Structures are given as C-alpha cells and as structure tokens.
Amino acid sequence: MSKVVHLTSVHPPFDVRIFHKECVSLVRVCQDVVLVAPHERDEIRDGVRIKAVAKLDSKGRLHRMTCTVWRVCRAALEERARVYHFHDPELIPVGLWLRLRGAHVIYDVHEDLPCQILSKYWVPKPLRGILAKGAEMAEGVASRFLDAIVAAEPTIAARFPNKKTVLVQNFPISNELVSVEGLPYVSRPPWIVYVGGITVIRGVFEMVKAMEVVAEEFSPRLVLAGSFSPAALEEEVSRLRGWRRVEFLGWQSRQQVAHLLGRARAGLVLLHPTRKYSQAQPVKLFEYMSTCLPVIASDLPLLREIVNGTGCGLLVDPLDPQAIAEAIEYMLTHPEEAATMGRRGREAVESHYDWSFEEKKLLALYADHLGHA
C-alpha cells in the first residue's frame, strides 16, 4: 500500500494511540504514512510524515469543530490518498466526504461517545441525553457508509456492525514505560501515583481525601501527573486537607512518566461507577502493569475481572476514601506481596495485554480489507 493518511483535529500529534502505536506500526508495511494534526510545523518523526494544521485550542471548542475541522479536511484532500483513517467524531462529515470521493475510510473510535457526552461537564445537563442519542444515531448512520470501524474497547465494538468492525485495544507497548533507572521495589519511596486526566469522575477527590486518612508514620505522598479538567478543579481540590501530601507535577512526557512509575509503590485507577466506566478498561491500568507496578483499582465489573484474574493489585470502593487509604497502607506495609502483584501484572501484559497483539489486527485490517487500495 502506497499511502495511508491519519486525521485528527482534537489530539496532539504525538498521541500515544494514534502516533506511537498505529502510525508507527503502519510504517513497517506502508510506503507513506501521513498524520494530519494540530501542530506547530510539518516534520517527519519515526518515519511518519506529520502535516501540521494551525492549533486553535485557545479559541474554544466551536472554533476547533469548524475551522480546525475544515483545515484537516483541506489537508486531507491535498494528500490525494486512497486510504484515510480518522480519530475524532467531529471528523465524521470529513470521512463521509472522502468516502464519496472514492477513498477508503476508517473510523477509529477511541471512546463510547454517547456515554462520554452524558458525563461532559461543559454540556448542559438537560441537553446531555438528547445529544448522546443524536451522537449514537450519527455514528450508526456513518458506519453504514465507511469501510471499517476500529474500536478501542469491546463495549465500543458492540455498537457497530460486526462485519466491518475490528477490535484494536489500547494496550501498552510493553517496554515503552520501563525505566532503566527504576529502583528495586523495596527501596522505593512511599509514593502512590496517578497518571492521566484529573477529573471528578476519575476519583481525584477520593484520592486526596484518602491521603488525609493514611497514617502519618508512612510519610505517604500522592503524585499526580496530568492535567485538571476543568482547570478550575485544581483550586477546589487543593483546599482539601489531604493536599499537603500531594505533589502535582502537571503534564509529563512519556520519559518522565516512565521515571515516575519506576519509583512508585502503587498506581491508582479509581474510576467512579458511572455508565461510562462500568465496562471501561483504562490504558493507565495496563501501563502500570507493564512496569511491574501494583494497582489499586475500582471494584467495577471489567476492572475486577482483570485485577482478580491476574492478581496484579487490590480492588476498592472508589467512593470510599477510607477503603482507598487502607489499600495504600497495605501496599506500604507488605512490600514483598506488592512487588509480587507487580510482577504478575507485567507477566499478564506480556502474555495478553501487549500492543504487539493489537498491531497484528490493525495490519490485518489493511491487508485483508484495504490492501487493494
């Protein structure tokens, strides 16, 4: 296949799933892999040709969903490719337009959009149900005309036609976050980490409140790596008494995340029991596991299956700071058992949850369905 063009108007150019996993994987079998994305400049990285469109984040969502989408569409047409692979729901009209022009088009569905809309803080509550239903209908109609759907999770795949849907899960690249400077587990400081978007329904209040409960004798530290959403949430959370035991690092590079995970005692995945997360399999869980880091995770159906099935950590009620604190204390007082949990998690990634398994399915999609393009 001569050229594949990936499109995003929302994600940064070096998004882990889009760039590091899918685009870099395609470089092995495709002569020209292009990524059209908001960025400062055109460049080539790891064999992927990045075609930049102007970044307009400061002008708001509406501007992005109109002007940025138009810029992505125009850049896509300039490439004159036969295969396009887009990653954002707001690009559905672009994908349909490219399909009408005779191109082969793939829609990569990262999130369960209807469920996501129901929990969006910036969408007025009276409108959430209507917009969620509209999004479900729009994706359903679009899927009839697009060539293939790539779904990031089984529950997402179940919403689309089976005959044209491929499940390509967001498992980690097994050695990406393994730090050569990592400390032996028993020598690590009492750091409990959370990496990712920091929101209410991902448990930030419960994390910080739990740190207030953990006994002083353990000198615990909660290290947060990511961004608050909305930004004003940081001020609200910082007023909690447990904040004195928090170190907020902000956004971190992948190298910095690897350095952090190689020094921590446990990773937190405290998703709230919402419809959105009831069957979620967050990538941070597998990333923690890939670094031999034991996890403290929400006792939700799919997380329970993974954590209990692998023995990689402890399950808690994500709404109970006391239960979270007890799990943290257990990790700190049972380092050998915690280290064993971490090793089990790593073994599970190597045998079941590694990107290499998903890469084969992605490449098979191109070979089996779109190779003639």
Structural domain of residue 140, as residue ranges? Answer: 3-171+354-369
Q: What is the pLDDT of residues 30-86, one digit of tens each?
A: 989 999 999 999 999 999 999 999 876 556 777 787 899 999 999 999 999 999 999
Confidence at 121, pLDDT banded by 50, 70, 90: confident
Pairwise pLDDT comparison (285 vs 181), residue with the higher score: 285
Domain count, the chain: 2
Candidate from 20-29, 136-145, 178-187, 361-370 with smallest mean pLDDT: 361-370
| Chain mean pLDDT for the chain | 94
Predicted model pTM:
0.91
- Inside any domain, residue 180: no
340 and 361 fall within a common domain: no
Residue 311 included in any domain: yes
Tens of pLDDT, residue by residue over 247-260, are 999 999 999 999 99
Q: Mark whether 239 and 113 lie in a shared domain.
A: no
Does residue 162 share a domain with residue 246?
no
Which of 94-98, 120-124, 283-287, 361-365 bottoms out in mean pLDDT, i.e. has the lowest? 120-124
3-state DSSP call for residue 300?
coil
Residue 215 domain-assigned (yes or no): yes
Q: What is the pLDDT of residue 122?
A: 76
The structure tokens 């990285």 sit at: 45
Considering the domain architecture, whether residues 163 and 197 belong to the same structural domain is answered as no
In terms of domains, do 62 and 194 share one? no
Four-point Cα dihedral 293, 298, 299, 305, nearest 10: -50
Specify the pLDDT at position 140: 93
What pLDDT score was predicted for residue 349?
Answer: 98
Average pLDDT over residues 164-171: 96
361 in the same domain as 346:
no
Q: What is the pLDDT of residues 130-144, one digit of tens each?
A: 888 988 899 999 999
Measured distance CA(294)–CA(261) in Å, rounded: 10
Whether 167 and 288 map to the same domain: the answer is: no
Specify the DSSP element, H or E, that contains 71.
Answer: helix 69-79
Q: What is the mean pLDDT of residues 346-370?
A: 92
What's the pLDDT score for residue 370? 61
State whether 223 and 322 are in the same domain: yes
Task: Please state, for a pLDDT cut of 70, what percent of the chain lies above it.
Answer: 97
Could you tell me if residue 339 is inside a domain? yes
Q: Is the pLDDT of residue 98 over 80?
A: yes
Residues 6+ away with beta carbon under 8 Å from 48: 19, 23, 24, 27, 33, 34, 35
Same domain, 127 and 227: no
**322-348 mean pLDDT:** 98
CATH number for the domain that contains residue 122: 3.40.50.2000
Do 340 and 365 belong to one domain? no
Q: Are 198 and 321 contained in the same domain? A: yes
Please give the pLDDT value at position 58: 58
With a CB cutoff of 8 Å and minimum separation 6, the contacts of 192 are 211, 220, 221, 222, 223, 264, 265, 266, 267, 268, 296, 328, 331
Is there a domain that residue 179 lies in? no
Of the candidate ranges 16-20, 116-120, 180-184, 325-329, the one whose mean pLDDT is the lowest: 116-120
Q: Is 178 contained in some domain?
A: no
Helix (H) or strand (E) holding 149: strand 148-151
Neighbours of 247 (CB within 10 A): 11
Q: Mean pLDDT across the stretch 223-242?
A: 97
Grade residue 372 by pLDDT with cuts at 50, 70 and 90: very low
**Is 176 inside a domain boundary?**
no
Q: Is residue 177 part of a domain?
A: no
Rounded CA-CA distance 154/139 in Å is 16
Give the model's pLDDT for residue 56: 64
Clarify whether residues 83 and 109 are in a common domain: yes
